[in-house]
Amino acid sequence: MTNLFDFEQLLNESSRIHGHLCPGQVLGIKMSILGLREAEIRDPKGKDRKSIIVFVEMDRCATDAVQSVTGCSLGHRTMKFMDYGKMAATFLNLKTGRAVRVIARDDSRQKAKAYFPEIENKYEAQLEAYKIMPDNELFDVMEVQVKVNPEDMPGRPLRRVKCDSCGEYVQDMREVEIDGKILCRPCADTGYYLPVGQDIF
């Protein structure tokens, strides 16, 4: 596995994709290496690429690192974004059903300073410390069960229907039925936008 997960190479690739190197990137890389190992995924971008789904719980720097290490993405439907605001990700092996959730330990921030007390900037200290801190100081690992519905699996859409209100098409069973009408989520009043001219508040 060391050949597949060369830490320095992953740092360079992740920072190139993300645009800079930061503590979140280092955490995301190490989180991914640990999660893949625990889920028994050895070659996520090669022979195991169809055997993995990753659930990320944050829309922060670490998520870009998870994508760069695992090769999973929203577009391939192998990365699922769960908007929990937690520095955590779950790595699911589709072949075996094994799933592990890796959670960044909050106390690692304080421990990082002890590794590099001479660095005054806390983010720089975290960046350097996270590179060398052992996994058990950075993360908790939880074995979990994950059920993935057929409509959430990678591959072609299972269904495509037209919204009775706006006429736009909805894929992957994301429609809502209200009073016998098929509606997209925005028309069912659960969207993030409104057309200009409608009161958003």
| DSSP for 139-189, written as a single string | EEEEEE-----GGGSSSS-S-EEE-TTT--EEETT--EEETTEEE-TTTTT
Residues 142 and 186 in one domain: no
pLDDT at 200: 60
Q: Would 1 be classed as within a structural domain?
A: no
Q: Would 198 be classed as within a structural domain?
A: yes
Q: Would 2 be classed as within a structural domain?
A: no
Residues 162 and 140 in one domain: no
Name the pTM for this structure. 0.88
Q: Would 103 be classed as within a structural domain?
A: yes
* pLDDT tens-digit readout, 87-111: 999 999 999 999 999 999 999 988 9
Residues 105 and 87 in one domain: yes
Q: Would 172 be classed as within a structural domain?
A: yes
Average pLDDT, the chain: 91
* pLDDT tens-digit readout, 25-66: 999 999 999 999 999 999 999 999 999 999 999 999 999 999
Q: Would 105 be classed as within a structural domain?
A: yes
Residues 73 and 171 in one domain: no
**Please, which pLDDT band fits residue 201 given cuts at 50, 70 and 90?**
low
| CATH code: domain of residue 51 | 3.30.1330.130
Q: How far is residue 100's CA from residue 121's CA, in Å, rounded to a whole number?
A: 33
Residues 143 and 160 in one domain: no
Residues 82 and 168 in one domain: no
Q: Would 29 be classed as within a structural domain?
A: yes
Q: How far is residue 17's CA from residue 82's CA, in Å, rounded to a whole number?
A: 21
Q: What is the mean pLDDT of residues 134-157?
A: 94
Q: Of 149, 164, 182, which one is at a domain's C-terminal end?
A: 149
Q: What is the mean pLDDT of residues 127-156?
A: 94
Residues 134 and 164 in one domain: no
Residues 30 and 88 in one domain: yes
Residues 180 and 132 in one domain: no
Domain count, the chain: 2
**Please, which pLDDT band fits residue 3 given cuts at 50, 70 and 90?**
very low
Q: Terminal CA-to-CA distance of the chain, rounded, Å?
A: 52
Residues 130 and 187 in one domain: no
**Please, which pLDDT band fits residue 192 given cuts at 50, 70 and 90?**
confident
Q: What is the mean pLDDT of residues 169-190?
A: 92
Q: What is the mean pLDDT of residues 139-156?
A: 94
Residues 141 and 168 in one domain: no
Residues 161 and 144 in one domain: no
Provide the 3-class DSSP secondary structure of residue 143: strand
Structural domain for 160, as ranges: 156-201
